Structure 1
């Protein structure tokens, strides 16, 4: 009997990518594992400009979104606005995830919470990377806060590129294949892995595997890391084809060996 998983998405109101890239990856998975399926359910929090002030106001609305989505009895909730978490100081993803879980629990529907901020940190660590180079769409002061947050988790950021796009709708309109050229200006020589998009709104999925194959190092994004964490939370193998090293068969095999289990074929 097919098992359906309901994925709740806590979405910035101007985000147009979270509801495309995350479902795209999970739909790839269900195509190769036909005994499972996913449905997607969203609640939005208001945000237009990517500024620290708007992000903080938006974050307050995430409580309402969590309650609304818990009404649908989702299996997991994903809060995928990385910078809204990271601009509030190191470790805030843990506070946010606990607060949102408490909101669902008070609604008699305790639901696991995934944040893209926490997922990115976990994803980098899962790859065994100690140093990363990153690309963001943010203005440089916000990129600096993202770097500080990542480095507070014990991961060194060796180089970064800020595309400096303040309008969130414009971020979502970026051609993901542009990143194939942008990354050529990123110094990846000292990095163990590359974060091609440290923002769930900036499209990158189409370029992830291409860039990884070109540079010969693991490449991930905030969206890829979020899907990795969603699958781990649902106790499913975190394998999605053509989405980079973090969602590769090799990572599933390594996790299986650590647990003493076997890889699902």
Structure 2
């Protein structure tokens, strides 16, 4: 039998996420549009401790070791496009690191398109014409340094970075709205054109939408940006309200 998927008749997305991540799936689900379905593969993360730079590096080791099996499993449902439900790996080692990561996924999938948080943020910032940015992450200094490297290599001026140094990958999802609100205020300066939030397990998509109204400038939540990139790459132009100006206006 051949035909069109009954629910994913426009596109089926294969989403790669760490086993420790409990935010990216429900946030992507909130932003669903008719005819597009998301199907999740989980990268096994047996040790989610990330309170130190060594812990962050160990997390990346686990992701790299278990990535192929996750993608191979996802390919059995015949996705049309791949979406990265994690961001640290896509920023690591700057622009070239993201490029190599995309190549790895395309080699495993026979050349499928890939949305990464890093590239999605790049596209969004260029769309807004931003020059100077503030950044919020759940990371330790080594993670923040890689985020700074990525954006600096693209020509953006990176002002303040607020790294929350969360103890474990699971605990990222427990960061309160108040903590995130304070972080937004901390990295915002008058000369900052946009604020970027990294870390797909931080629950910030709806808060970013609110913050844009407080600040009068773009606040780019990484899950919203990645979802936006995935939709637009596939010719899906549906506009969504409540998740930031990127999905609403662009």
Please state which band the TM-score falls in when normalised by the shorter chain: 0.7 to 0.9
1:8 to 14, 17, 34: 14
Structure 1 residue 222 and structure 2 residue 222: aligned?
yes
Q: TM-score, normalised by structure 1?
A: 0.82
Deviant stretches of 4+, over 4 Å? none
Is the contact made by 2:106 and 2:113 (CA closer than 8 Å) also made in structure 1? yes
Deviations along 1:244-263, one digit per CA (max 9) or x if unpaired, are 122122x2xxxxxxxxxxxx
Assess, with a 3 A threshold, how the Cα gap between structure 1 residues 60 and 121 changes in structure 2: closer, same or farther: farther
Is the contact made by 2:94 and 2:153 (CA closer than 8 Å) also made in structure 1? no
2:69 to 42, 47, 64: 64
Alignment-derived partner of residue 53 in structure 2? none
Alignment-derived partner of residue 112 in structure 2? 111
Alignment-derived partner of residue 37 in structure 2? 39
Is the contact made by 2:188 and 2:195 (CA closer than 8 Å) also made in structure 1? no
Residue 139 of structure 1 deviates from its aligned partner by 1.2
Alignment-derived partner of residue 80 in structure 1? 85
Residue 241 of structure 1 deviates from its aligned partner by 0.9
* In structure 2, C-alpha distance between the alignment counterparts of 1:153 and 1:166, rounded to whole Å: 30
Deviations along 1:67-126, one digit per CA (max 9) or x if unpaired, are 221211112111222112322343211211122112111xxxx52221112222222222
Residue 238 of structure 1 deviates from its aligned partner by 5.7
SS at match of 1:248: helix
Is the contact made by 1:231 and 1:237 (CA closer than 8 Å) also made in structure 2? yes
Is the contact made by 2:133 and 2:194 (CA closer than 8 Å) also made in structure 1? yes
Assess, with a 3 A threshold, how the Cα gap between structure 1 residues 185 and 97 changes in structure 2: closer, same or farther: same
Comparing 165-174 with 84-93, which one deviates more in the overlay? 84-93
* In structure 1, C-alpha distance between the alignment counterparts of 2:68 and 2:232, rounded to whole Å: 23
Aligned residues: 237
Structure 1 residue 98 and structure 2 residue 103: aligned?
yes
Is the contact made by 1:172 and 1:201 (CA closer than 8 Å) also made in structure 2? yes
SS at match of 1:49: coil
* In structure 1, C-alpha distance between the alignment counterparts of 2:28 and 2:64, rounded to whole Å: 20
* In structure 2, C-alpha distance between the alignment counterparts of 1:54 and 1:244, rounded to whole Å: 30
Name structure 2 gaps, 5 residues minimum.
1-5, 51-55
Is the contact made by 1:56 and 1:84 (CA closer than 8 Å) also made in structure 2? no
* In structure 2, C-alpha distance between the alignment counterparts of 1:68 and 1:147, rounded to whole Å: 33
* In structure 2, C-alpha distance between the alignment counterparts of 1:18 and 1:98, rounded to whole Å: 23
Name structure 1 gaps, 5 residues minimum.
31-35, 252-265
* In structure 1, C-alpha distance between the alignment counterparts of 2:154 and 2:133, rounded to whole Å: 12
Alignment-derived partner of residue 20 in structure 1? 26
